[in-house]
Amino acid sequence: MKPANPSRIPLYAFVAFTLLMCVTPAEAHLNTTGMGPIYDGLMHFLMSPEDFVPVLALALLAGLRGAAYGRRALFVLPIAWLLGGLAGLSAVAANPHPFIAAAWFLLLGGLLAADAKLSLRVTTALAAFLGLYHGYLNGTGMGVFETAAVALLGLVFAVFVLVALAAAFVVRLRADWARIAVRVAGSWIAASGLLMLGWAVRTR
Amino acid sequence: MKRLANKVCPTQASFAWVALLRSLTAITLVFLCAPSAFAHPQKGEAVGFLTGFRHPISGWDHVLAMVAVGLWGAQLGSPAIWLLPVAFPMVMAMGGMLGLMGVPLPGVEYGIALSAILLGAAVMFELKPPLTIAALLVGFFAIFHGHAHGTELPAGQSALLYSMGFVIATGCLHALGIGIGTVHRWGWGQKFLRLAGGVVTAGGVFFLWRAVA
């Protein structure tokens, strides 16, 4: 009687395991590949709630008003951010004013919570001012121009992606409770702005 | 033929599966032993958010009152079900702002305890006042909760992330109350909510007694 052939699966598993153990360094920060500044800019935006939250609020607000508003914010905000950043790169360092940061939270969060019926022009103006102001502040703190310009591109890319995702998510919401949930998020943002205002007065 | 052989000889196939599972288990164990990367150790900011998030849920006086807001909103139905949880964080933040600015507010502990008593009683007796009265009552007590949060901001932490943490935690507590309040559609659920309101009121009485004593 011919003996049964042993399965090769354990052998494959052993080879796979050995290969997994031989992995090379991940180079997560990509400094050695030259891609570092782009990801630095991208991560800077994602890790900075004072930048991230107002952009999210504006994207949600534009999404609540409809696809046309979302598209306008999608292009105006990153372009304004890029222009503001480029202007900031050649300027002297400027510190963000805590009252203005709190005001952005209050304004955009309050408009979102109230489901304000803004015109397309006002939404465009809000996106432009927000982009110019935050872009300028980002630009002034970026240091060397060559790498900073690349970092700025990564940052603007992150803004674009966030606006696209958040606005598109809200545009397709039809259920009343879902739209109310978005407005509740706005009230949380406005509440955070009020507290930032109190903090700014306290540390003044 | 191989398929046929596997069918004929199930022992061999099961042996292969056992071996595969062992290999996968070994690989999983190796991966689980990897230490955390801590590539971006922004400890101060993360701690600020977590401290803020924990603040409302670390004290039963806050928890009871905020869950009661959600329960009452669920009992009152639309539009109170969403208006009260929107009004509470906003007015609470105003109270927090006063606390941060150093504006004194007398009887904060009494106010917090009374909020649990009155909101719990509103749930227990299924009170249905006009929406404005309900919003004013909730807003009035929110000032006391916010003031307590504002004055207890730990030094050296990110004010923004602390604020966001405790606003989000407060909202989650309201959502919990609303979630529990959805049982109001059933008869047994209505009794359960009234019982829960009684528990909140009893808790409020306890906190008031502790504040006075």
Peptide bond into B104 cis (omega under 30): no
> What does the CA dihedral A71, A57, A169, A135 come to, rounded to 10 degrees?
50
User: Which of A183-197, B27-41, B66-80, B113-127 bottoms out in mean pLDDT, i.e. has the lowest?
Assistant: B27-41
Q: Could B82 and A47 be called an inter-chain contact, meaning their C-beta atoms sit closer than 8 Å?
A: no
Q: What is the pLDDT of residues B136-165, one digit of tens each?
A: 998 999 999 889 888 877 666 677 888 888
pLDDT reported for residue A198: 84
Phi, then psi, of A57 in degrees rounded to 5: -65, -45
Asked whether the beta carbons of residue A7 and residue B15 sit closer than 8 angstroms, the reply is yes
Tokens found for residue A194: 């009020």
What does the pLDDT read at residue A5? Answer: 66
The shortest C-alpha distance from B57 to chain A (Å) reads 17
What pLDDT shows up at residue B55?
82
> Does A30 reach chain B within 8 Å, measured CB to CB?
no
Omega into B79 within 30° of 0, i.e. cis? yes
Q: Is A43 on the interface with B (CB under 8 A)?
A: yes
Residue B97's pLDDT is what? Answer: 87
What is the model's pLDDT at position B115?
A: 92
Residue identified by tokens 């009004």 is B87
CA-nearest residue to A5 within chain B is B12
- Tell me the percentage of chain B whose pLDDT exceeds 90: 18
> Who has greater pLDDT, A129 or B37?
A129
ipTM of the prediction? 0.71
Contact A4/B9, CB-based, under 8 Å? Answer: yes
A145 touches chain B (CB under 8 A): no
Q: Where are the domains of chain B?
A: 44-212
What does the pLDDT average to over B96-107?
86
- The span from the CA of B172 to the CA of B14, in Å, is 48
Query: Quick check: B94 and A194 CB within 8 A?
Result: yes
Q: Which residue out of A47, A194, A196, A204 would a mutagenesis test of the B interface target, given it has the greatest number of B Cβ atoms within 10 Å?
A: A194
In chain A, the N- to C-terminal Cα span, in Å, equals 91
Residue B30 contacts A where some CB pair is shorter than 8 Å: yes
- Model confidence at B8, pLDDT cuts 50, 70, 90, reads very low
Given a cut of 80, whether residue B48 has pLDDT beyond it is no
pLDDT at A15: 85
In the predicted model, is pLDDT for residue B4 greater than 50?
no
Which residue from A minimizes the CA distance to B49?
A49
Query: What's the whole-number average pLDDT of chain B?
Result: 81
Res B203 pLDDT > 80: yes
Residues A53, B167: C-beta atoms closer than 8 Å: no
Nearest-by-Cβ selection for A198 from B12, B30, B97: B97
- On whether the CB atoms of residues B76 and B178 are closer than 8 A, the answer is no
Contacts of A163 (CB under 8 A, 6+ apart): A55, A58, A59, A62, A70, A73, A74, A77, A78
- Say what the pLDDT of residue B5 is: 47
The pLDDT assigned to A166 comes to 95
Torsion angle (degrees, nearest 10) of CA A26, A27, A33, A35: 110
Question: Residue B89 and residue A14: Cβ atoms within 8 Å?
Answer: no
Given B39, B101, B164, which is nearest A201 (Cβ)?
B101
Q: Of A201, A78, A53, which Cα lies nearest the Cα of A135? A: A78
Cβ-defined contact of B164 to A192 (cutoff 8 Å): yes
Residue B32: pLDDT band (50, 70, 90) is low
Put simply, the answer to whether A194 touches B102 (Cβ < 8 Å) is no
A196 touches chain B (CB under 8 A): yes
Return averaged pLDDT per consecutive 10 residues of chain A, 204 residues in all: 68 83 65 67 87 95 94 96 90 76 92 92 96 91 76 92 94 86 91 86 76
Q: What is the pLDDT of residue A65?
A: 93
A13, A49, A191 member nearest B89 (Cβ): A191
Task: State the pLDDT at residue A81.
Answer: 94
Closest partner CB to A20 (pick from B27, B99, B160): B27
**Cβ–Cβ gap A13/B19 under 8 Å:** yes
Q: Which of B20, B42, B86 sits opposite A187 (nearest CB)?
A: B86
Q: Cβ contact (<8 Å) for A21 and B30?
A: yes
